[in-house]
Structure 1
């Protein structure tokens, strides 16, 4: 029936209702989309976590050409995962491990605030295809465990999603290797997801290090970008627009991440 989910005020509760119905489709929330097959989670997407392709290619596990070839050949049939394995480009075990990591990372963000779900599309499938399915209750429980751990380290969830900057005088000396590498990527523009992508790391691992850096007084949320000035009209009637600083920063961060 796939209608009971609409009566629930949280995404996790909606997922539970869809799992009970053994529904197949895509549930959209405020921060991402959860894909279900027969009531089990098969994939999760969120703009706040690097996707599977970024993790595979940036880590060196898969050449970018191999990733795009799999999408071109298997995307329309929702068999990209199968294509990667069948072509010999990636071992099944390596794909499964990386896929589960990406799934749980994205699910953390989708369920972090656990607001009401927006929409369910019955029958919708992800182009990746099913690599491995996970019970809904396992995904919800793991997301809650991660949230509780991060809050114990530093109880400010904004660290997970906003651009970050170093506190003046913050240095990487005497820090553990992963924390030091993470700090060097904090530039006032990048978010946790962008830092994770640049380092080819699981987002959750980066969140742990960033919250520890925040707890140590080394990292904080970057100040909001200034609002662009109003267009100035020249005497000849030509209007010159001041550049959108926030857009330029986002473009620079994207180029630096390439």
Structure 2
């Protein structure tokens, strides 16, 4: 079966303009052979981000979609060009994370079809693939089991220590968790990037702030997770680090490694960036509880494409800024 990135490569060589529909999973929009936007059923789109965060009402957004599109949106001043570009970048990276590994579908290309935002930004497919790989590696470094990505978020009823420090996204996840919504469902409810919520949930799991999964419920695979290589599969622990049965990858507090006190050498940069307080069980990058080596700092994603049109902002610079903000989220 043809890989999706190979199919997109063929459309790029043909300089195709239109929409590549992936069944119910989502849609990839192209202009002159270059990716301009991606929609994924699993993750929030630009429309959801704008309405959920209070930037505009659904009625106003529908009016823009029907008349004027992106140009009118910017003319009315609801968003600056930079804010809109940053939102589009996050949505495309979110969608690519789930759409690019998809297999088993029969994509259909509809020539001439365009997204209402138009062809304002262009993304390199190879760059998107590299960035998705970097994100998967980073998620696995924080917490090695992907089960928490697909199961309902269930905060523990009591703290594993005397106190914790939460980031803004982690706090929103804890407050919004109803023990039924999965991380991606919470992302749509909160109007947050799906990846940002996945980061928050994995850090909460690493800090011991999530309850073990319901024994009667198993995690459902995300779209594309069954592709060759299964990048979303839970990473097995190192020899001698068995995961207790029935915990879904959660490690009991008494078996988590001890951490340095604040200010001591080797303090986790996760805690410094707003993760759990020392003693709450947050693993260090240098000493992962499952023996995984630290993420290679040299494995930096390459720029995602040519400069944008109609906007002087450098996409590569915006990409670096977004990664830095995600590290602090």
**TM-score > 0.5, shorter chain as reference:** yes
Distance 2:149 2:46 in 1: 19
- Please say if 1:181 is aligned against 2:172: yes
- Deviation track 1:26-82 (CA, whole Å, cap 9, x = no partner) reads 2234732211112211111112111111111222333444312202324xxxxx222
Structure 1 equivalent of residue 50 of structure 2: 56
Asked if 1 retains the 8 angstrom alpha-carbon contact of 2:43 and 2:95, the reply is yes
Change (3 A) 1:158 1:38: farther
Change (3 A) 1:163 1:55: same
Pick aligned residue for 1:47 from 41, 66, 75 = 41
TM-score by length of 2: 0.57
Secondary structure of the corresponding residue to residue 200 of structure 2 = helix
TM-score by length of 1: 0.71
- Deviation track 1:138-190 (CA, whole Å, cap 9, x = no partner) reads 22221121112112222333433443323454579413233233222222211
Distance 2:9 2:213 in 1: 34
- Please say if 1:121 is aligned against 2:113: no
Pick aligned residue for 2:4 from 6, 11, 20 = 11
- Deviation track 1:124-146 (CA, whole Å, cap 9, x = no partner) reads 32233223121222222211211
Secondary structure of the corresponding residue to residue 134 of structure 1 = coil
- Deviation track 1:106-138 (CA, whole Å, cap 9, x = no partner) reads 211213x44255213131322332231212222
Distance 1:28 1:38 in 2: 17
Distance 2:207 2:133 in 1: 24
> RMSD over aligned Cα, in angstroms?
2.7
Distance 1:170 1:28 in 2: 45
Asked if 1 retains the 8 angstrom alpha-carbon contact of 2:53 and 2:191, the reply is yes
- Deviation track 1:199-239 (CA, whole Å, cap 9, x = no partner) reads 332221111111112233333555549xxxxxxxxxxxxxx
More strand by share: 1
More helix by share: 1
Asked if 1 retains the 8 angstrom alpha-carbon contact of 2:142 and 2:203, the reply is yes
Structure 2 equivalent of residue 252 of structure 1: none
Change (3 A) 1:106 1:171: farther
- Deviation track 1:4-35 (CA, whole Å, cap 9, x = no partner) reads xxx62x22232233223322232234732211
Alignment map for 1:13-162 (pairs within 5 Å): 13-29=6-22, 31-74=25-68, 80-111=69-100, 113-123=101-111, 124-162=113-151
Distance 1:160 1:34 in 2: 23
Distance 1:107 1:195 in 2: 19
Pick aligned residue for 1:196 from 178, 183, 187 = 187
Asked if 1 retains the 8 angstrom alpha-carbon contact of 2:183 and 2:197, the reply is yes
Shift of 1:192: 1.6
Asked if 1 retains the 8 angstrom alpha-carbon contact of 2:160 and 2:208, the reply is no
Structure 1 equivalent of residue 281 of structure 2: none
Structure 1 equivalent of residue 206 of structure 2: 215
Structure 1's unaligned 5+ residue stretches are: 1-6, 75-79, 226-258
